[in-house]
């Protein structure tokens, strides 16, 4: 691409802001993602770290940042920074260069500087106009940060005040005695007071002052386990953060907790970050089933004892246990529909610690926010893998045109998610055959699998309700044997068109994931998928026609 054309593209982005180039063409299979109706995706870079080792360590892709001219910067966990540029305007990054060393997680562009963090420091490179790879030497902003080799990644962000906020995680599960191990009843706990003076908090720094240490920072908040997810909310004029919850309840105190308690009873929690906040770690955790803050077993908890009311803030959003929140980003662009504007996208890496429940959380969730900067509803799954080989989501960044970049950590894939308004169902991706049949243990009628609605179901429904209709309690209900799925036709049509909360009784069983309305699907698509659901999971209830869907749609308020 000529220098003139490159400058023209950069100016187009700068001045049009939300214009989506016609040259950006989504992949036929959305790059292996399941997305809400109207959204499409394309793979813009792939295999950036696949199979790569740095020393003995397997590398990963971590957070993303966007330069002012549309260049993308991806941090690697053990290597350097990967700089990516689209030279021909097709939305894909054919130019790729890696620079720097030290690994780490955090990365951000501020003015004419590219900031990034290792596990014990924050640096910055000068970004000169037109440069993809910085030619200047890095400067040390902060060094000597505590690096305990557990929860050691250093996340950071810039506030509306222009200051730099850096998290120092807690190299501990819950400050047990010993940590992550059985503590017989009556074992005295350790006192975390001194530990929390240098760990488990956010510190505020001057981003333009070099060679600082932790002692130069202002201790802004405390009582965290680990918070990599942080994003500035313009309306609230405050950060929101999401904490990674504790592990191994049943190992620490098997007298009071079993494996199911460990799998389900410790939320990943989102909070508004305020000066002086104390979020209660390691003394407490948030139980999403009791909807209450509980005392940790290391500090006298017995699965019944609650924390002192009002001592620590309740979460803004409580996500399921062990989903592992990574990068967080608010959406202030205009490409996506109005419901997404001002809301938050949270990338989850996925669990390792939910047995005997299935491992979960390999997704991007969306949380709506209102004009005042307050969470305004339940979260919903926005993006997840279309195959049984789950992608572990890591980085998020919003481009100038409103596209959402999303990274996968283990092979180093980056997607660009765009809104086109298309209602056509994208085909199931190659290699997804394992998701098109019920897993062993529950067979689906072979005739139902041949119905056209099966493909629609696999595209839009199976991610939550599972390929065999078994659901994933307590996150989403089973369809197999559901009285709604096999019941009155008009009711189940209305549920899909408007969402369960608008149709079903208020005292119905509640689930943590909230099904959105799917009115964007055509009458024929809805008829086909509901006919499949009723044949496969609803006791061979009567089929549904497009005319029936149209009639219910016409009566919608």
pLDDT digits (tens, 9 = 90+) for 317-360: 999 999 999 999 999 999 999 999 999 999 999 998 888 888 89
For residue 15, how far is the Cα from the chain centroid? Answer: 30
Where are the alpha helices (H) located in 344-395, listed in sequence order? none
Paired tokens of 482:
């559901």
Percent of the chain with pLDDT over 90: 68
Q: What is the C-alpha separation between 406 and 393, in angstroms, rounded?
A: 7
| 207, 115 Cβ separation under 8 angstroms | yes
| 75, 100 Cβ separation under 8 angstroms | no
Paired tokens of 248:
């191994």
The strands making up 81-85's β-sheet, listed across from edge to edge, are 61-66, 72-76, 81-85, 95-99
The residue ranking higher by pLDDT, 270 or 441, is 270
Q: Which helix (H) or strand (E) holds 61?
A: strand 61-66
Length of the chain in terms of residues written:
557
Under CATH, to which class is 3-394+412-422 assigned? mainly beta
> In degrees to the nearest 10, what's the CA dihedral of 509, 513, 516, 518?
-90
Q: What is the C-alpha separation between 529 and 422, in angstroms, rounded?
A: 17
Q: Which residues pair with 243 in a beta bridge?
A: 269
When mean pLDDT is compared across 113-122, 374-383, 501-510, 531-540, the lowest value belongs to 501-510
CATH of 436-554, one of 3.30.70.250, 1.10.760.10, 1.10.287.610, 3.40.50.20: 1.10.760.10
DSSP conformation class of 473: T
β-bridge pairing 325-330 and 317-319: unpaired
Cβ neighbourhood burial of 64 (10 Å; 0-12, 13-18, 19+): buried
Interhelix angle 546-554/523-536, rounded to 10 degrees, is 120
Kindly report, as residue ranges, where domains of CATH 1.10.760.10 are found in the chain. 436-554
Can you tell me which residue has the tokens 């918070």? Answer: 227
Q: What is the C-alpha separation between 66 and 109, in angstroms, rounded?
A: 7
When mean pLDDT is compared across 196-210, 344-358, 376-390, 474-488, the lowest value belongs to 474-488
| 328, 242 Cβ separation under 8 angstroms | yes
Paired tokens of 60:
């990963």
Paired tokens of 207:
């981003």
Percent of the chain with pLDDT over 70: 88
Q: Which residues pair with 107 in a beta bridge?
A: 116
Q: What is the C-alpha separation between 9 and 369, in angstroms, rounded?
A: 32
* Amino acid 83: pLDDT: 98
| 222, 196 Cβ separation under 8 angstroms | yes
Closest to 113 (Cα-Cα) out of 92, 94, 80, 140: 140
**447 pLDDT above the threshold of 90:** no
Give the tens place of pLDDT for each residue, 396-429.
999 999 999 999 999 999 999 999 998 654 443 3
Detail the DSSP E strand segments found in 225-331: 229-233, 238-243, 268-273, 284-287, 292-295, 317-319, 325-330
User: What does pTM read for this prediction?
Assistant: 0.75
Confidence category of residue 520, pLDDT binned at 50, 70, 90: low
**1 pLDDT above the threshold of 70:** no
Closest to 166 (Cα-Cα) out of 128, 127, 195, 123: 123
Q: What is the C-alpha separation between 28 and 557, in angstroms, rounded?
A: 35
Kindly report, as residue ranges, where domains of CATH 2.120.10.30 are found in the chain. 3-394+412-422
Interhelix angle 523-536/453-460, rounded to 10 degrees, is 90
Can you tell me which residue has the tokens 């005695």? Answer: 177
């Amino acid at each position: 691409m000529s220098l003139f054309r490159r400058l023209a593209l950069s100016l187009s982005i700068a001045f049009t802001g939300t214009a989506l180039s016609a040259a950006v063409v989504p992949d036929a299979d959305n790059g292996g993602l399941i997305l809400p109706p109207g959204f499409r995706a394309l793979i813009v870079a792939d295999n950036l770290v696949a199979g790569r080792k740095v020393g003995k360590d397997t590398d990963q892709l971590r957070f993303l940042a966007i330069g002012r001219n549309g260049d993308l910067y991806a941090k690697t966990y053990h290597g350097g920074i990967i700089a990516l540029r689209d030279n021909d305007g097709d939305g894909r990054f054919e130019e790729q260069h890696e620079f720097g060393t030290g690994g780490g997680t955090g990365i951000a562009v501020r003015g004419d500087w590219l900031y990034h963090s290792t596990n014990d420091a924050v640096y910055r490179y000068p970004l000169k106009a037109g440069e993809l790879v910085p030619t200047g030497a890095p400067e040390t902003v902060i060094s000597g940060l505590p690096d305990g080799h557990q929860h050691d990644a250093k996340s950071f962000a810039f506030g509306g005040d222009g200051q730099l906020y850096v998290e120092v995680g807690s190299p501990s599960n819950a400050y047990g005695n010993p940590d992550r191990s059985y503590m017989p009843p009556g074992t005295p706990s350790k006192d975390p007071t001194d530990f929390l003076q240098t760990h488990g908090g956010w510190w505020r720094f001057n981003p333009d002052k070099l060679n600082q240490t932790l002692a130069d920072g202002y201790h802004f908040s405390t009582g965290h386990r680990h918070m990599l997810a942080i994003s500035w909310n313009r309306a609230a004029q405050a950060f929101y953060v999401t904490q990674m919850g504790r592990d191994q309840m049943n190992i620490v105190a098997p007298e009071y907790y079993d494996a199911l308690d460990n799998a389900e009873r410790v939320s990943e929690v989102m909070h508004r970050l305020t000066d002086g906040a104390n979020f209660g770690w390691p003394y407490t955790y948030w139980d999403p089933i009791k909807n209450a803050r509980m005392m940790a077993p290391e500090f006298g908890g017995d699965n019944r004892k609650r924390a002192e009311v009002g001592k620590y803030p309740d979460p803004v959003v409580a996500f399921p246990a062990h989903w592992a929140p990574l990068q967080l980003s608010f959406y202030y662009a205009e490409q996506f529909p109005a419901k997404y504007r001002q809301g938050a996208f949270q990338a989850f890496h996925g669990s390792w610690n939910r047995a005997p429940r299935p491992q979960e959380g390999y997704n991007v969730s969306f949380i709506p926010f209102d004009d005042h900067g307050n969470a305004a509803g339940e979260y919903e799954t926005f993006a997840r893998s279309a195959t049984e080989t789950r992608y572990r989501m890591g980085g998020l960044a919003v481009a100038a045109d409103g596209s959402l970049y999303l990274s996968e950590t283990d092979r180093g894939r980056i997607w660009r998610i765009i809104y086109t308004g298309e209602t056509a169902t994208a085909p199931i991706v190659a290699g997804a055959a394992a998701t098109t049949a019920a897993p062993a243990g529950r067979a689906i009628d072979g005739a139902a699998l041949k119905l056209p609605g099966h493909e629609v179901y696999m595209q839009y429904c199976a991610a939550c309700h599972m390929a065999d209709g078994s659901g994933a309690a307590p996150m989403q209900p089973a369809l197999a044997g559901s009285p709604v799925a096999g019941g009155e036709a008009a009711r189940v049509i209305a549920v899909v068109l408007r969402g369960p909360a608008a149709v079903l009784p208020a005292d119905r069983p509640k689930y943590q994931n909230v099904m959105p309305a799917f009115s964007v699907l055509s009458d024929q698509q809805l008829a086909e998928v509901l006919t499949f659901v009723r044949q496969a999971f609803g006791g061979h209830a009567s089929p549904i026609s497009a005319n029936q869907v149209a009639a219910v749609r016409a009566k919608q308020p």
